[in-house]
């Protein structure tokens, strides 16, 4: 049976529009790191590299190789961890998007091993050359105890949702482990009306 993350993992990916706590286990990802405006060309190339790798894994059986433990599944959504160097933040809290530091990623199914991920990376790089392919890494990451909520609308309006999350943390005695936060993109900004865009916002807390 095909694994649909929207149906099987609702707690992780489909929260409501109010803060909630959860514990996110260790997961496997293709990742790539960078710095700069997410509206820039380099960021787009990073996304393209991640999707090429992810669909390379997904399509392996149709290309003549079925990995051990393979199951039919829907490719997971794009995620990103975002932060800033302290010196890049102004006294009023404003900052330039050019200074954003990010690690974007796409989760991979549990059957994907480091060796399989590397083999796929080599094959994809031959079929779909992209100078950013070489910067893609395979990692296991664990968000652990977290607070998250669904944000509807423009990315520029996220501060309103962050304010709700900050208040939730304050009321429940939670402290962020890092000023970095995660975003999970449930919709494609290129194809979705701004007011209908859906993004999961997640803090890492203790």
H or E segment at 124? helix 114-127
Give the integer Cα–Cα distance in Å for 49 and 104. Answer: 11
Q: Specify the DSSP class assigned to residue 205.
A: E
H or E segment at 29? strand 20-35
Give the integer Cα–Cα distance in Å for 197 and 76. Answer: 17
> Tens digits of per-residue pLDDT, 40-86?
999 999 999 999 999 999 999 999 999 999 999 999 999 999 998 87
> Tens digits of per-residue pLDDT, 107-165?
999 999 999 999 999 999 999 999 999 999 999 999 999 999 999 999 999 999 999 99
With bands split at pLDDT 50, 70 and 90, how would you rate the model's confidence at 187? Answer: very high
Burial label for 156, CB within 10 Å (0-12, 13-18, 19+), is exposed
Identify the residue whose tokens are 């996304």.
Answer: 47
Q: Specify the DSSP class assigned to residue 97.
A: G
CB of 74 within 8 A of CB of 4?
yes
Give me 117's structure tokens: 């991920």
Q: Give the pTM.
A: 0.96
């Amino acid at each position: 049976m095909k694994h649909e993350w929207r149906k099987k993992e609702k707690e992780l990916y489909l929260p409501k529009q109010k803060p909630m706590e959860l514990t996110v286990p260790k997961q496997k990802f293709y990742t790539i790191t960078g710095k700069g405006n997410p509206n820039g060309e380099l960021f787009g190339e990073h996304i393209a590299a991640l999707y090429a790798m992810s669909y390379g894994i997904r399509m392996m059986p149709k290309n003549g190789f079925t990995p051990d433990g393979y199951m039919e599944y829907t490719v997971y959504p794009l995620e990103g961890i975002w932060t800033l160097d302290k010196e890049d933040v102004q006294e009023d809290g404003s900052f330039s998007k050019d200074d954003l530091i990010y690690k974007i990623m796409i989760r991979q199914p549990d059957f994907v091993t480091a060796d399989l991920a590397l083999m796929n990376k080599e094959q994809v790089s031959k079929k779909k050359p992209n100078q950013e392919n070489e910067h893609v890494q395979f990692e296991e990451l664990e968000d652990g105890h977290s607070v998250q909520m669904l944000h509807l609308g423009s990315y520029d309006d996220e501060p309103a949702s962050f304010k709700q999350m900050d208040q939730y943390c304050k009321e429940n005695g939670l402290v962020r482990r890092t000023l970095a936060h995660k975003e999970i993109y449930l919709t494609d900004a290129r194809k979705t009306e701004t007011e209908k865009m859906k993004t999961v916002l997640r803090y890492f807390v203790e």
